[in-house]
Amino acid sequence: MKLLENLKWRYATKKFDASKKIEQKDIEILKEAVQLSVSSYGLQLYKVLIITNDELKLQLKEAAWNQSQLTDASHIFVFCNYTERKNEHIDEYIRATSETQNTPLEKLEGYGDFIKQSLSAKPIEEWQNWSEKQTYLALSNLLVACAELKIDSCPMEGFEPEKFNQILGLDQNGLNAAIIAPVGYRSTEDHTQFRQKVRKPKEILFEEI
């Protein structure tokens, strides 16, 4: 499978070639891959910022312990989860479902009420943790799509979310930077690319019952 070959090719890129930029047509493919990601109830309770502004990248680099990926990568994907439970998000999803699937709205209202009840039953800390985890599902699609296009990527939790939120004005929009992924093209000086991939053997990782 090409997919397996591409997954073997990818690695968490430590040093990008700052002179190489991703073409917009490929960025559109990456955006669609993220858009098609699975999410709980299909709600997609997150927003994805794509950073290309050099000055902004520099500020974000300082909030990510000066890791070079932030300024050398072509683009930075910032996955942001919503920080507040809002029924409006569910109502928007139900309306979109009605329009897309040509289903009368009244037939979907019961499902919308079920989602609201299910999410409101979660304690706030549990809900926020659940909300952040949703962004990781979308991130996975981005990483696989990058590998398919032979675009390098580096998922990163090594940054200060509070500072990212401040720099990007996320707080006032009810958003939180959960995880980031610089994407671009590996530098020939990045020796990490030559290391053998280390993974658990299948007989240890999997158990068939």
What are 90's two structure tokens?
């569910």
Distance of alpha carbon 132 from alpha carbon 115, whole angstroms: 18
Cα(209)–Cα(192) distance, integer angstroms: 37
Range 77-98 average pLDDT: 97
Domain 2-84+124-205 part of CATH 3.30.70.600: no
Mean pLDDT, residues 24-42 taken together: 98
pLDDT in tens, 125-182: 999 999 999 999 999 999 999 999 999 999 999 999 999 999 999 999 999 999 999 9
pLDDT-based confidence at 1, cuts 50/70/90? Answer: confident
Residue 36 has pLDDT above 80, yes or no: yes
pTM of the model: 0.97
- Domain residue ranges in the chain: 2-84+124-205
Task: Please check the confidence at residue 81 and state whether its pLDDT lies above 90.
Answer: yes
Average pLDDT over residues 83-98: 96
Residue 81 in contact with residue 131, Cβ under 8 Å?
yes
